[in-house]
């Protein structure tokens, strides 16, 4: 299991499977791997017990064996942030050289959504958003974020989220929004952690 987690490509695959089950071709496209290479990584992950598979006609569909894998991946991130100076430099770079604002907890976001006092942005690709997203979240990809800025309510706090512990989209979105003077920060965790809490998830386009 430790060997299975030691390859960045396999962490990318696990991050994708945390969004929902996928076939080899879709995983290869999302992670930038060849189909053959992606298949080899999946076999390693399956042998380690981290993923499982099922047949759907001729296709093989993969998913996480245990949602606790998300916690394991997040603990790796936490330990890295606490003990590796280069991780801090990377995160500071994503925030334009500034210290990133404190994240919002999922409990706090749920309460703020109920009040209607927050704007939530899902900055993952549209296909991942359509497969499942936080109710009330707007989908906007990073390359289109600038076009949305003028439409955002500056009186509301803006919370961005993406895939999970290794996804940098939310970091980048928050930095871009704060440059425009908007009150923005990240959600603690991403869509998979929200779902694992037992909170509601919607599917379909906005």
Name the residues annotated as catalytic: 162
Residues 6+ apart with CB under 8 A from 76: 5, 165
Q: Quickly count helices (H) and strands (E) in the chain.
A: 10, 7
| Long-range CB contacts for residues 145-152, cutoff 8 Å, separation at least 24 | 145/173, 145/176, 145/177, 146/176, 149/177, 149/180, 149/182, 152/119, 152/177, 152/182
Alpha-carbon gap, residue 178 to 175, rounded angstroms: 5
Tokens of residue 85, six digits: 């100076």
Q: How far does Cα 153 stand from its chain's mean position? A: 24
């Amino acid at each position: 299991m430790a060997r299975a987690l030691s390859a960045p490509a396999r962490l990318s695959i696990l991050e994708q499977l945390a969004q929902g089950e996928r076939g080899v071709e879709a995983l290869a496209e999302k992670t930038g791997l060849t189909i053959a290479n992606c298949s080899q990584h999946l076999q390693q992950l399956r042998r380690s017990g981290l993923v499982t598979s099922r047949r759907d006609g001729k296709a093989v569909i993969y998913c996480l064996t245990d949602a606790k894998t998300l916690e394991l991946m997040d603990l790796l991130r936490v330990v890295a942030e606490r003990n590796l100076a280069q991780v801090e430099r990377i995160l500071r770079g994503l925030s334009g050289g500034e210290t990133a604002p404190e994240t919002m907890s999922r409990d706090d976001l749920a309460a703020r959504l109920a009040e209607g006092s927050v704007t939530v942005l899902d900055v993952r690709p549209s296909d991942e958003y359509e497969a499942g997203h936080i109710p009330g979240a707007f989908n906007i990809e990073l390359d289109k974020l600038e076009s949305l800025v003028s439409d955002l309510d500056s009186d509301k706090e803006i919370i961005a989220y993406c895939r999970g512990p290794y996804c940098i989209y939310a970091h980048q979105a928050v930095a871009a929004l704060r440059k425009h003077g908007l009150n923005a920060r990240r959600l603690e965790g991403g869509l998979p952690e929200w779902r694992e809490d037992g909170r509601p998830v919607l599917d379909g386009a906005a």
